[in-house]
Amino acid sequence: MGDIKHFVKLELSGWNKTELSALVLVMCIIFSNAIFLHDSPIAIVYAICGILYTIIAGKGKISCYIFGLISSILYSYISFKNAIYGNLFLNLFYYIPMQILGIFQWKKHLKKTTNEIYKTKLETKELIQLSIISILACVGAVFILNNIQDGNPIIDGITTILSIVGMYLTVKRCIEQWIVWTIVNGLSVIMWLNIALKGIHVYSTVLMWFVYFLLGIYFYIRWNKEINCSTNNQ
């Protein structure tokens, strides 16, 4: 029991007022949105868990994977109901296993004082290789999804591949993940907004992706500052 209390204490430490205020504000908006627009309960819970996962991951706390696993399961269901098969397969066969792997990988690289991970960045060669592979994979994914009558093959294909890359970079603790996630999140806002405009109650999902977009920018700046400070102190 003592170890659990110590773990929880470390996970709750290191939050500044801006991050806490933003978290409370987003939660209030999601609940208000649910009441006035009659959003589905599953979409609401998914949005909450997804945002908690992103914020806690941005802080470099390993507990993010708890909310990540819950959000992946719920997002799989939402994607299936709306014929977004790329994102369905992505969550079932990649996100869930990778998040389990992430727990073990992050556990090896935690700061003892804050329980946060050590942040890293890709080497130039690896960045170029990963970019080329990602572009080719996006083209292939769009072609496949178009042939199986996906609801939005272009955006779904691109976001599916980039999400695979983003999750890979997340497990590796690389700052480049936030660039990838920002692109994915921006495209996902467009995709789910189109679904919402058709009269389907997924407004919390739209809001969640927009918040993700803003968080991606925020955490890129924050990680970049931390990495630069670590480099200068070496």
Q: What pLDDT tens digit does each residue of the chain (234 aa) get? A: 556 666 666 666 667 777 778 778 777 877 776 677 676 778 778 778 888 888 889 889 998 999 999 988 988 888 888 777 777 887 888 889 999 999 999 999 988 877 889 999 999 999 999 999 999 999 999 999 888 877 778 888 898 899 899 999 999 999 999 999 999 999 989 888 888 888 777 777 787 788 889 989 999 999 999 898 876 665
What is the reported pLDDT for 2? Answer: 56
What is the reported pLDDT for 13? Answer: 66
Quote the domain boundaries for residue 39: 2-233
- Looking at the 3D structure of the chain, how many domains does it have? 1
Per the listing, tokens 């296993």 go with 97
What is the reported pLDDT for 167? Answer: 92
Cβ atoms of residues 117 and 57 within 8 Å: no
One-letter-per-residue 3-state SS of 143-210: HHHHHCCCCCHHHHHHHHHHHHHHHHHHHCCECCHHHHHHHHHHHHHHHHHHHHCCCCCCHHHHHHHH
What is the reported pLDDT for 8? Answer: 62
Cβ atoms of residues 211 and 58 within 8 Å: no
What is the reported pLDDT for 128? Answer: 96
Q: How far apart are CA 100 and CA 202, in angstroms?
A: 27
pTM over 0.85: no
CB atoms within 10 A of CB 79: 21
Tokens matching residue 83: 């014929």
Q: How far apart are CA 130 and CA 174, in angstroms?
A: 13
Return the half-sphere exposure (C-beta side, CA atoms, 13 A cut-off) of residue 183: 17
CB atoms within 10 A of CB 2: 6
What is the reported pLDDT for 48? Answer: 83
Tokens matching residue 188: 């996902």
